[in-house]
Structures are given as structure tokens and as C-alpha cells.
């Protein structure tokens, strides 16, 4: 039986997580959600991984929730529904807080929960032909578990509209609204992501991870003396760290830092 999600480490030490239910438009169910959670944790805990790409096989990125899964949920009790929803919420949080750069590669349709997956990633590159829809209200539901990430990505006022109307919107609009970082032709998807990966892997791995955490933390803080003190202490700590010392030394000595000279992963390949 073919795996619903595949995991591969390429020669650049990039983890590639692929939604692999093309015949179902990569709609997800509880088992697929559990597997995504496991693989995101695996990538986050692997010190050799420099970045994570979330992509999908077939014409669609993801149609959101699987029909058979929704049929099961309809018969669940309140308690069972809460447990089931927590599985999705945990997966999204795992992706959002993953201590590596995350890039969504989006083609075709991204509906419902799929918009949440995209919003959880640090960067999202979509085909100009891709389409998006927060479709939950069409079947009497709401985008509850994905809402923290979608609201952060697109803004509260925009979400008031699309959460209620369930309109389909274009990649061009998704780019303007902040859901997509880039909207490119289908042929440019991979090269655009390759350029992003190339830039990321030139940078200090710990600095990249700490910069991601910095944004998530600072965004919720008031700009006051406490924040000034905390950020000053943080940069002082980073400057005196092993990676900070190596980076500063390499810059002053006009040489490549040791993370650029690191060899590619000898264990690159698909998860067994």
C-alpha cells in the first residue's frame, strides 16, 4: 500500500515532506495528520536538517479534510470530536513551531485545512494558477483549528471576509493578502524554492532557527524597556556562542564559515 505521506532527505540536507494521495487530491484524515505530526517532529529533531519543504503530488496541493473522515466525525460525541480536533491542532502547532525554515510548495487547489498548512509555513511559494478557499462554512463548520495561523498570515479583517464568504481566491490575491510569499509560473516553482534554500543554507543554522523563534516571540511583545533589555541580552548571548564566534571570525578573516563547508548528508534518501 502506498504511503499517504513520504519523507526524504536530499543532498542539501533538506527534508522533503510530500502529501502523497494525489487520487484523493491529498485530502487528509486522522491517520495522515498523525503521520505528518511524526515527520515534522522527526525533521525538527534532526540536527543535520537545514530546511523543510512541504509539497504535494498531483494536480492539487490539498482539498482539505477527507470525505470519509468527515463522515466518521459526524458520528462522534463531543468528547471524541475534541480529541480528534486536537490531533489536527497539534500537527499544525508542530509545523508552526518547527525549529527549521519551512517552505510550502503549492500547486492547484488548497482548500479548508490546507490553507492552515500553508499559513503555518515560514515561506509559501505558489503557482499562479493555484486557488484557495476557506471552505468550512459551506458545510456548516468553521476554520477553528487553523484560525490562529491564517489570521496571523492574512490579518483579522481579511479573514472576517473569507471565513464567512468561503470565496475562492487566486494566487495573485493570496500573494497580496500575505498567504503566499511568491506567486510564480508552474515551471518556476522549483527554481524559486531552490534559490530560497540556497540562501538559507549559506546562513548559520542556529542563527536561522533563533531568528524564526525571535519573530514569533517579538510579534506578541510590547516595545518597552523590558523588550529592549531582553533583545540586548539575546544578541550578546548569540555573539559569544560558538556559531556566532565562527560567523564573526569568518567575516573578519574573509573566509567561508564552517557551516558552508559542511559536506552533504551521506544518509540522504527516502525514509525506510
pLDDT at 268: 61
Query: pTM for the whole thing?
Result: 0.93
pLDDT at 257: 92
The grid coordinates listed for 10 are 536530499
Q: Tell me how far apart the alpha carbons of residues 227 and 233 are, in angstroms, rounded to a whole number.
A: 10
Q: Is the dihedral of CA 44, 50, 52, 57 positive or negative?
A: negative
Q: Tell me how far apart the alpha carbons of residues 22 and 59 are, in angstroms, rounded to a whole number.
A: 7
Q: Tell me how far apart the alpha carbons of residues 227 and 230 are, in angstroms, rounded to a whole number.
A: 5
pLDDT at 186: 94
pLDDT at 272: 45
The grid coordinates listed for 146 are 487553523
pLDDT at 267: 55
- Asked whether the beta carbons of 22 and 55 are under 8 A apart, the reply is no
Domains detected in the chain = 5-199 (3.90.226.10), 205-256 (1.10.12)
* Per-residue pLDDT of the chain in tens (272 residues, 90 and over written 9): 689 999 999 999 999 999 999 999 999 999 999 999 999 999 999 999 999 999 999 999 999 988 888 888 888 899 999 999 999 999 999 999 999 999 999 999 999 999 999 999 999 999 999 999 999 999 999 999 999 999 999 999 999 999 999 999 999 999 999 999 999 999 999 999 999 999 999 999 999 999 999 999 999 899 999 999 999 999 999 999 999 999 999 999 999 999 986 545 555 666 64
- Asked whether the beta carbons of 116 and 106 are under 8 A apart, the reply is no
DSSP-assigned letters across all residues of 10-51: -TTSEEEEEE--GGGTT-B-HHHHHHHHHHHHHHHH-TT--E
Amino acid at each position: 500500500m502506498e504511503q499517504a505521506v513520504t519523507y526524504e532527505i536530499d543532498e542539501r540536507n533538506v527534508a522533503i515532506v510530500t502529501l502523497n494521495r494525489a487520487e484523493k487530491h491529498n485530502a487528509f484524515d486522522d491517520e495522515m495528520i498523525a503521520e505528518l505530526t511524526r515527520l515534522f517532529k522527526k525533521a525538527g529533531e534532526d540536527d543535520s536538517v537545514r530546511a523543510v519543504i512541504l509539497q504535494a503530488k498531483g494536480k492539487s496541493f490539498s482539498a482539505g479534510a477527507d470525505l470519509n473522515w468527515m463522515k466518521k466525525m459526524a458520528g462522534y460525541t463531543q468528547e471524541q470530536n475534541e480529541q480528534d480536533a486536537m490531533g489536527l491542532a497539534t500537527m499544525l502547532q508542530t509545523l508552526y513551531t518547527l525549529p527549521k525554515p519551512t517552505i510550502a510548495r503549492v500547486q492547484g487547489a488548497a482548500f479548508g485545512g490546507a490553507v492552515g498548512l500553508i499559513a503555518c509555513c515560514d515561506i509559501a511559494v505558489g503557482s499562479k494558477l493555484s486557488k484557495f478557499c476557506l471552505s468550512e462554512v459551506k458545510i456548516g463548520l468553521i476554520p477553528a483549528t487553523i484560525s490562529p495561523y491564517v489570521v496571523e498570515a492574512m490579518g483579522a479583517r481579511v479573514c472576517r471576509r473569507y471565513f464567512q464568504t468561503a470565496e475562492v481566491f487566486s494566487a495573485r490575491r493570496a500573494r497580496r493578502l500575505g498567504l503566499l510569499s511568491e506567486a510564480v509560473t508552474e515551471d518556476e516553482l522549483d527554481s524559486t524554492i531552490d534559490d530560497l534554500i540556497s540562501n538559507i543554507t549559506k546562513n548559520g543554522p542556529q542563527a536561522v532557527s533563533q531568528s524564526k523563534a525571535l519573530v514569533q516571540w517579538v510579534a506578541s511583545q510590547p516595545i518597552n524597556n523590558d523588550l529592549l533589555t531582553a533583545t540586548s541580552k539575546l544578541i550578546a548571548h548569540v555573539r559569544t556562542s560558538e556559531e556566532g564566534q565562527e560567523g564573526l571570525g569568518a567575516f573578519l578573516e574573509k573566509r567561508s564559515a564552517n557551516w558552508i563547508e559542511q559536506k552533504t548528508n551521506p544518509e540522504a534518501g527516502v525514509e525506510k
